[in-house]
Amino acid sequence: MKNICLSFQVHQPFRLRKFPFFDIGEAVDYFDDAANTAVLKRVATKCYLPSNKLLLKLFQKHGKEFRVSFSISGTFLDQCEQYMPEVIESFKKLAETGNVEFLGETYAHSLSAMKSKEEFIRQVNAHAEKIESLFGERPIAFRNTELIYADFIGETVYEMGYKVMLTKGSDWVLGWKCPNYMYSNCANPNLRLLFKNYHLSDDISIRFSDRSWTEWPLTAEKFVHWLKAIPQEEEIVNLFMDYGTFGEHQDAKTGIFDFLGEFPEKVLKQENLKFITPSEAALLPNMGDFAIPYPLSLENEDRNLTAWLSNDMQQDALDTLYDLEDKVVNCQDTKLRKDWLYLQSIDHLYYMSTKGSSGSNLHTSFSPYNSPFAAFINYMNVLTDLSQKLDRVPNHRNFFGIQFI
């Protein structure tokens, strides 16, 4: 039996308002409520609400035979609670069917795994609590930000109690090996690894509407034919993609919703195909350990971290951000702590990218800035202001002039 693991990422950052140098030291909020509201409502109208409505119909039609998973960032959930609670309600309806598995991730969709193990653990635990409070289940499978993975990250994830982790099936990592098997972390073989089949995933998420593509138009029937052609011994096909594929990146007029609506039925008509969630996939036979000493990710053709850390601006911004960690941890001001959390979303680093890759070009097209340098200056002004505010508030180590150890 060949298993299809269909997983969607859902994320929105809190976008920054224009923050000029002369606003440093003034009582000004960092985030642009108008922009955040407008973007969320636009994407919700085009993608989240119609996609969730369609999935609910498909779950009702196919029962437990059709299952998917979602990785939903905490910043997305916070935005929905503030601006569009009906989006949260639509996800709750999906959760009530029992056909959805919610995955763990970092709360702010951040690079904390690369900069601070302590902050990474705090965010993952906070995210798990948020998911449990909204949808009634605590995640047991994990998807790090943009599928970023390395052996040391896997070790931490396993220490936190997760049994399976999703990552990117890069050619330079897999070599001659195939992504369509279950593997495991080399340090902790009990942590299973699911590698994205990026060729098939990108056929849907990137190439679906490309009329110059030799396989256009892509139909559900054609795609299932490709799945059937995969050798039977290859037990799992991991289709991981941004949920914005449906209605946002691929507009409704491309036929993407027709594809999604027909896909489950075409799969379930085949005797040797079935849907499976990541936690269920963890029970498949392990084909061997994988050593991945250097981080790999979902983004850009290099499948590394250069979409966020390819230039001095990005590296300086990230270092400055995490240099504030001790101040934030000891701070009693919950608003400043939340501001720092939201500033960790990797989107802020995307906007500073000067790398000429498909990945950075995609995100640059959504940038609210005129240039990467403008994004850097605005972000650093905010960090400077935040640092000054943190210096002015009391903390639990030095409260009322008394030093606590």
Catalytic (active-site) positions? 146
Neighbours of 177 (CB within 10 A): 15
DSSP run (H or E) holding 69 = strand 68-72
Do residues 59 and 265 lie in contact, with contact meaning Cβ atoms separated by under 8 Å?
no
Neighbours of 52 (CB within 10 A): 21
Q: Is 57 helix (H, G, I), strand (E, B) or coil?
A: helix
CA angle 171, 175, 180 (to 5 degrees): 75
Pairing of strands 182-185, 236-242: unpaired
Q: Which is nearest to 254 in space by CA: 209, 211, 320, 299?
A: 209
Q: One-letter amino acid identity for 243?
A: Y
Give how far Cα 195 sits from Cα of 107, 168, 170, 336, Å. Answer: 22, 5, 8, 37
Q: Is 181 helix (H, G, I), strand (E, B) or coil?
A: coil
Q: Is 384 helix (H, G, I), strand (E, B) or coil?
A: helix
Q: Which is nearest to 194 in space by CA: 202, 205, 186, 185?
A: 185
C-alpha span between 163 and 138 (Å, rounded):
13
Q: Which is nearest to 399 in space by CA: 331, 340, 344?
A: 331
